[in-house]
Amino acid sequence: MWSAIQTFLSRSFSLDPRNAPILSTDYNRIWPQENAAIQLTKFGEDLLEKCMELKKPNACEIDIESFIEKSNKFPLQFGCDTCRVMSQPVERYAKIKKQIASAYPVIHERVLYLYLAFLEHKCKYGNDIERAIYADMTLTALVQRLLEKRCASFYGCIDKYLLVTGQKGYGGFCEVGTNAEKVPLQLKNVLSYDEIKLTAFLSISSQTEFINDGNRYNEGVVEVDKTKIEPEGIVIGLIGGRFQVKETMEWQDIMITAVQNTKANGYGYTAEEAVKANKRAVDYRQIWRSFYEETDLIYENVKPLNTKRFFKGPHAYYIFDNLLMKKRYAISFDTLLLEAEARGATMNKQMYLHVVGIGLGSWRAVPQQEKIFLETFNERLQLLLPKLSHISVVHFSYFVMSTWGELRDGGVIISETHPEGGIKIFMSNRNPSQKLAPEFENMLIVESYAWAGNALPGNDFWLGALASSGDPAAACSTLISELHNPHINTESVNGENLHIASSRFGVLHIADYAKKILKIYT
């Protein structure tokens, strides 16, 4: 299948040199492959077995009044109250009860094994502070920690933060989990940068009310004319790559520098060499080497190369790995597409998927990131197309580019097996929850928004900055400040309600996924 896709894409791109592929054909290979083999250690197998007995939350036990009471006890002031359950019409409560129950954290299948490898690494090589946290920790306990130990707000190149306790400050996160950590930024209270890197792959999805059309400057103003907006839909937060703090997060994998990419920092080891080395830094790099299925690179070996894989900006002291950026995006896009499909199948609806850029605004590291974004999304759509029978429209909104390959406004990605004959593509600006055109009136919107890995949904929302980015705009126009809040929607947004998105099974609760995968591999 992929060879046919490559042939089609090469023909499409050749029509316009501005649409030339980011990577040359020797690097532009499909990843991740469908139904790829799973590498499962005894440590990981034992943790997965513990997941088999977990139960899904009981939707019948949800009580709106109790939910509102729990929200009122949340220690921080909401950016606005119009987006809270208590402010919604009573006649919508039956719907909202289902929306509360519909929420869950979701990760890609490959991320599940990344989390298992992370726990195994920390149990073996962690310092005393880390071992006190991770010893005997289950997979779902790690996910719960990633959900509830995050800040309320986390932003900027100097790591400004607002904790759920109300404490504010900046900096200090690079020291979390080390002997240099200081109150209140201690591993027992907050996430380390190693963990924040993991949260970048963790999404929360649910049904929701729409308060207004979701425009960037909506600030929670209730739309009185309901004919202008969709009443409800699905919302899911996605997190882009973060390059604001050197040698953390995606910088470790995608940026290649003389200071970072050295043997002393664990880079450049083969799997066999890593076992013999038996060092913390080397083993940590092997986690990510295995996740991305790419060899770690030494700066001095890459510096003289002249290929489309590596971008060297003028006067830049770093080399940007376009291939690793594509792989980073691919995981997020697969999660989004598989989740939208699963929601459509469950609700027996065709979905109108609203896509916005992630990591393309203030987080952008290099000028070609939007091209990488669109090229990767195109490839993932093509690969997963036979499995996306409940996605009828993908609408790319607020992108600079108006076309990329087969992604063009008004185009169709044709599929003989799709009930609509294929997926319609739009590339034009629209607000997330504005009323759909009459031809799409029976569809349900799936709104993706750009979230942050170390913040509650809304991020700046909790500081009262309601129009600073798409994150608070999403919080002001939906119910996610409560529905996606692990401190309020405690039963649904919980590690034990983790869902796994995979091309082999679709989206499954962790217990169901564990039973299926262990049956195959054990």
d(C-alpha 334, C-alpha 388), whole Å: 11
Q: What is the pLDDT of residue 2?
A: 40
For the chain, the C-alpha Rg in angstroms (whole number) is 22
Q: Which of 316, 319, 407, 340 is nearest to 370 (CA)?
A: 407
Beta bridge partners of 205: 104, 236
Separation of alpha carbons 197 and 192, rounded Å: 9
| Contact (Cβ atoms closer than 8 angstroms) between residue 391 and residue 353 | yes
Whether 190 contacts 184, CB under 8 Å: yes
What's the CA dihedral at 83, 84, 85, 86 to 10 degrees? Answer: -120
**CA neighbor of 288 nearest in space, from 328, 317, 259, 258:** 328
From residue 501, give the alpha-carbon distance in Å to each of 34, 79, 119, 256, 333. Answer: 12, 32, 20, 30, 11
- If you ran DSSP here, which 8-state letter would residue 421 be given? S
Q: Which amino acid appears at position 451 of this protein?
A: W
pLDDT at 17 (0 to 100):
55
Instruction: List 161's β-bridge partners, or say none.
Output: 154, 169
Give residue 1's pLDDT. 45
Q: Where are the domains of the chain?
A: 57-107+201-243+325-521
User: How many other β-carbons are positioned within 10 Å of the β-carbon of residue 167?
Assistant: 14
Give the pLDDT confidence score for residue 220 in this predicted structure. 98
Residue 20: per-residue pLDDT: 78
Is the preceding omega at residue 75 within 30 degrees of 0, hence cis? Answer: no
Task: Answer for the pair 444, 338: CB distance below 8 angstroms, yes or no.
Answer: no
The H-or-E segment that residue 84 falls in is none
Q: What is the DSSP string of 319-381?
A: EEEHHHHHHHHHHHHHHHHHHHHHHHHHHT--EEEEE--SS-STT--STTHHHHHHHHHHHHH
Distance CA 437, CA 31 (A): 35
| Backbone dihedral angles phi then psi of residue 62, each to the nearest 5 degrees | -75, 130
Distance CA 155, CA 172 (A): 13
In Å, the largest CA–CA distance within the chain is 67
**Centroid of chain to Cα 58:** 26
Return the half-sphere exposure (C-beta side, CA atoms, 13 A cut-off) of residue 128.
3
Residue type (1 letter), 287 = I
Residues of the chain with pLDDT under 70: 1-18
Cβ atoms of residues 249 and 243 within 8 Å? yes
What's the pTM?
0.95
pLDDT at residue 18, rounded to an integer: 61
CB-based contacts of 94: which residues, under 8 Å, 6+ apart? none
Partners of 160 in the β-ladder: 155, 170
Tell me the CA end-to-end span of the chain in Å, nearest whole number: 29
CB contact at 8 A, 344 and 390: yes
Residues 6+ apart with CB under 8 A from 492: 57, 100, 101, 102, 103, 104, 206, 483
Which tokens belong to 446? Answer: 């799936």
Which are the contacts of 376, defined by CB distance < 8 A and separation ≥ 6?
A: 326, 329, 330, 333
Strand order of the sheet with strand 310-311?
255-257, 318-321, 310-311
Q: How far apart are CA 260 and CA 29, in angstroms?
A: 27
Amino acid at 227: T
The DSSP bridge pattern shows strands 203-209 and 104-108 to be: antiparallel
Taking the C-alpha atoms of residue 255 and residue 243, their distance in angstroms, rounded to an integer, is 9
3-state secondary structure of 509: strand
Q: Is the dihedral of CA 476, 235, 237, 367 positive or negative?
A: negative
